[in-house]
Amino acid sequence: MQSPAFAGASKSRALAPAQPTWRWPFSSRPRTRLASGTTALHPPPHPRCNNHPWSSPVTYEGEVLPFAHTAEAVRAWVHGWSASRGAAEPVPSAWGFTVDVGLHGHVMRHVLHSADEATVHEITQHATAPGVWLKAFVPPEALEPWLAPGWHLAGGSGYLMSASLPITPTRAPGPLPEGYQMNTWTRDGVTRALVRTADGAFAARGQVAVTGHSAVVDQVETDPAHQRRGLGRLVMHRLTEAAAEQGAAAGVLGATPEGRSLYETTGWRVLAPLTSALRGPDAADT
C-alpha cells in the first residue's frame, strides 16, 4: 500500500525529465580527474528544449516557486549541499553533477538532474567502488530497474523541496520552550543552529549554506526525547531568517518523508521526488 507521505510525489512526477535521444560510447566520453582518484563522467552536451519538463517554470498548486526551472533548484541544492558538508566543488556534466565527498561509505556522489534508463545504467555499470551514491529526481520504482548489479536503493523515499525567502510562516513558531537555549553561529559561509537543554544536552540542530542568491537547509534533526515541542520549527525559522539576512532569496533542501511534514508547515513545497542508490553495503547517507 502506498505511504500517505509519498502521495504528494504523484504531483511531482510530471516534472521527471523526458528521456534524451543521444547515446554515446563510454570509452570515448570526456572525463575529469577528481581528488579521490576517480573520474567524473561527461557525456556530450545536448540542446535544452524550451518545452522540456525540466526547463519549465516550477509551480505548486498554481503557486510559482522561486526557481525558474527544476534544473536550477537541483544545481542550487548540489552546490549548497557541497558547501554545507565541506565537500569538493561539484563537477558539472550534461546529466548533472559529480561531487567528491570523501567519507567512509560516501566517497562520492553523482546527482542526475535528467535521469533516464540508459544514463543511470551506464553510470552504475562502470562505478564499481563501494561508497558511491547516486541521486535522481524520479520515484524509487522508476530508478530501481535502471540500476546495474551491485547497486541498490538506499535511504528511503525523499523529496526535493523549495521555498521563497524570507518565509512568512502560516503559524508563528513561538518562543523557545522553557528549559532550552539556542545558539547560532556562522563559519565558512555555513550558519548553524544548536538547541540544548539547560544542562547542556543535545536537543535539536540544523545548518544552512548560502551560495549566491540561494540557500540549502541541511542536517535538521531533533532528538527523539525532545520532539513535539516545536524545536524543529524554531531551528528552521532561525536558519531561513539567517539565510535571508545573507541575501538568499530562494531555499532548497532534500527531505525525508518525516521531514517533509515539518517543512510543509513552515512554508516549503515539494518540487520532485528524490531517490538515492548506493554501490555496496548500506551506509549512513550523511
pLDDT category at 272 given cuts 50, 70, 90 is very high
Rounded CA separation 204/48 (Å): 42
Rounded CA separation 167/266 (Å): 8
Residue 262 CA to its chain's centroid (Å): 16
The position carrying cell 542536517 is 219
pLDDT category at 65 given cuts 50, 70, 90 is confident
Question: pLDDT digits over 87-138, tens only?
Answer: 999 999 999 999 999 999 999 999 999 899 999 999 999 999 999 999 999 9
> Over the chain, what is the mean pLDDT?
82
The answer to whether the peptide bond before residue 47 is cis (omega within 30 degrees of 0) is no
Angle, CA of 6, 193 and 82, to the nearest 5°:
65
Question: pLDDT digits over 153-209, tens only?
Answer: 998 899 999 999 999 877 777 899 999 999 999 999 999 999 999 999 999 999 999
Predicted confidence at residue 156, as pLDDT, reads 85
**From the candidate CATH numbers 1.10.287.470, 3.40.50.300, 3.40.630.30, 3.30.365.10, the one assigned to the domain spanning 164-271:** 3.40.630.30
Choice among 31-45, 87-101, 135-149 with the minimum mean pLDDT: 31-45
Q: Parse the chain into domains and list their residue ranges.
A: 164-271
3-state secondary structure of 121: helix
The H or E element that residue 80 is part of is helix 70-85
Share of the chain above pLDDT 90, in %: 67
pLDDT at residue 239 is higher than 70:
yes
pLDDT category at 68 given cuts 50, 70, 90 is confident
Choice among 51-60, 82-91, 128-137, 214-223 with the minimum mean pLDDT: 51-60
End-to-end CA separation in angstroms for the chain: 29
3-state secondary structure of 3: coil
Residue 3: C-alpha distances to residues 10, 13, 25 (Å)? 12, 16, 39
Residue 219 corresponds to which cell in the numbers above?
542536517
Numbers of helices and strands, H then E, in the chain = 6, 16
Predicted confidence at residue 60, as pLDDT, reads 52
Predicted confidence at residue 174, as pLDDT, reads 84
Residue 75: C-alpha distances to residues 95, 130, 221, 265 (Å)? 11, 25, 24, 25
pTM: 0.77
Question: pLDDT digits over 250-270, tens only?
Answer: 999 999 999 999 899 899 999
